[in-house]
Amino acid sequence: MRKKHETFVFFTINDSPKFKTTLKTSVVSQITSAAQLLQPSGQSFVAVNVAFSQSGLSKLGVTDDLKDATFTGGQSADATNLGDPGTVNWVGAFKDRKSMHGVLLVASDTQKSIDAQMQSLRTAFGSSMSILYTLPGRIRSGRYAGHEHFGFLDGIGQPAISGWDISPRRGQQVVTPGIILAGEPGDTVRGRPLWTKDGSFLAFRQLKQLVPEFEAFIDVKAPAVDGLTAHESKDLFAARMVGRWKSGTPVDLAPLRDNPAIGADSNRNNDFTFLHGDNALTFNSDQSRCPFHAHIRKTRPRADLPSPLNAIMRCGIPYGGEVTSGETRAKTSSPDIRLERGLAFVAYQSNLANGFQFLQKAWANNPNFITNKTVAPGFDPIIGANHGGQRFISGWDLKNTSSTTTLQSDFVVSRGGEYFFSPSISALRDVIAA
């Protein structure tokens, strides 16, 4: 299923017995299975899922230890650990951990279908729950379809799950099912309740993207490159920060100019490791192709550090509208919350400490990762965070790749989130709603 729209509805439970009864008699049958999602459909299709926070499970009387301290503690307690400047920029609903009990995820090819499904769910649950916050997401339209708000093709670096994906594409990371699903082969955690099998921990983050500020930084800071026009140099600078051109083509395969044919080819756009025959002897110093700080290199280091245990399944979607003419002129994002744009980040994994939390804290936010390089790589310039403080990157100037430059502000601002557990349909029916 290729979703065009998805709405996230965060809720609090008012009446646990009534909520559980409704869940069992009216809602479980509407939950979409993984098998259904994998089936191609030419007709309009609505997918429904529900996930619960630690507070939500406790509210429903589920007291089992899921053996994930990050989940148990909640994301508000993890904010500083993730590089946020506390919760000062967070949406109010995410700050109240005790009331944030769960999230309904409803996806479809039309917003009309989502609205109808949500009305049905609200009617079913009635007063047993209250909605705390709703975030509607949708893919960008026209030539921007599939691209996040900074303009880069997104969602092309997903891992393949062995036994599920019959024909992984060249260069696609292949992981055992237990990296994503609890209780499956490859899950490193022991002693979880049996009902958690085939469930997954969901990390949700609302990530505001400061698009005018990002573009202004590129305009001002892009170094001139011999043989390239000023416009081409700017495009290259932005591509090196991400690690891909806007077409999805990796800079590791197209180091000076975009080759959109590679980005459009699913058997080529991930078929690289950062290691080449011509740089094997200088692998720890050569930033002429992909800088060490590049977003896709920091979050999946490939030959730098093969890391199947840290894989996540990303299922996010953009939210908000396009940049307005006023924002373009001002080179600044509007303070009007109605004009906010960004990414509704969703990641599934069987272990939050190995998955999302590790990628954010140990890799994206760590200026010394990737390790064993001759110069400190700096922060991931896209999602790396330093509690709102200054960051730096090296490898930004092709004429002197050992030099560093300062990023005076963040281009992505966390608006908060929560950690949830997404149970299997049988667990929903037999344990959560029992």
Mean pLDDT (whole number) for 60-85? 98
Q: How far is CA 152 from the centre of its chain?
A: 14
- Whether 49 has a pLDDT exceeding 90, the answer reads yes
Cα–Cα dist 32/45, whole Å: 10
| pLDDT score of 116 | 97
Task: Please give the structure tokens belonging to residue 128.
Answer: 């047993």
Taking 60 as the threshold, does the pLDDT of residue 88 lie above it?
yes
Crossing angle between the packed helical segments 211-221 and 230-242, to the nearest 10 degrees: 120
DSSP letter for 244, please: B
Structure confidence at residue 266 (pLDDT): 95
Per DSSP, the three-state class of 338 is: helix
Q: Which of 37, 358, 56 is CA-nearest to residue 179? A: 358
Maximum mean pLDDT: which of 27-41, 47-61, 265-279: 47-61
Largest pairwise CA distance in the chain: 69
At residue 416, does pLDDT exceed 90? yes
The mean predicted confidence, pLDDT, of the chain is: 96
pLDDT over threshold 60, residue 40: no
For the chain, percent of residues with pLDDT exceeding 70: 98
- CB burial string 371-392: b at 16+ within 10 A, e below: eebebbbbbbbbbbbeeeeebb
Choose the catalytic residue: 68, 154, 258, 304: 154
pTM above 0.85, yes or no: yes
Q: What band does 36 get if pLDDT is binned at 50, 70 and 90?
A: confident
The answer to whether 154 is a known catalytic residue is: yes
Question: Which residue matches tokens 């699903």?
Answer: 181
Distance CA 313, CA 242 (A): 19
